Amino acid sequence: MKREVELDRPRVLYRVEDAAELLSVSRTRIYELIRSDQLRTVQVGKSRRVPARSLDDYVTRLLRGRAGHGTS
C-alpha cells in the first residue's frame, strides 16, 4: 500500500524506494549509486535515508556529465 503524506514544507530525507521513484531508477540502482559514493545517505536508526540535497547534487552532476566520478 502506497502512503501519501501531505507536508507543509519540502521533504528533506527520502526512503531508498522513494529516491528510486524520484530518479526513475530501480532500488538496486540506488544501492549501486550509494556503494560507489555517487549518492550520499544518512542512517536514521536502522534505516537508510537519502537527503534531498544528495539527490539534487547527483542530478546536477548528471547534467554536467560527471555523474560517474562520485564527487561534486
Inform me whether the pLDDT recorded for 4 exceeds 80: no
The answer to whether position 57 is within a domain reads yes
The answer to whether position 70 is within a domain reads no
Domains held by the chain: number: 1
Inform me whether the pLDDT recorded for 20 exceeds 70: yes
The answer to whether position 30 is within a domain reads yes
Residue 38: which domain range?
13-64
Neighbours of 12 (CB within 10 A): 10
The answer to whether position 52 is within a domain reads yes
pLDDT at 15: 97
What global pTM score does this model have?
0.77
The answer to whether position 55 is within a domain reads yes
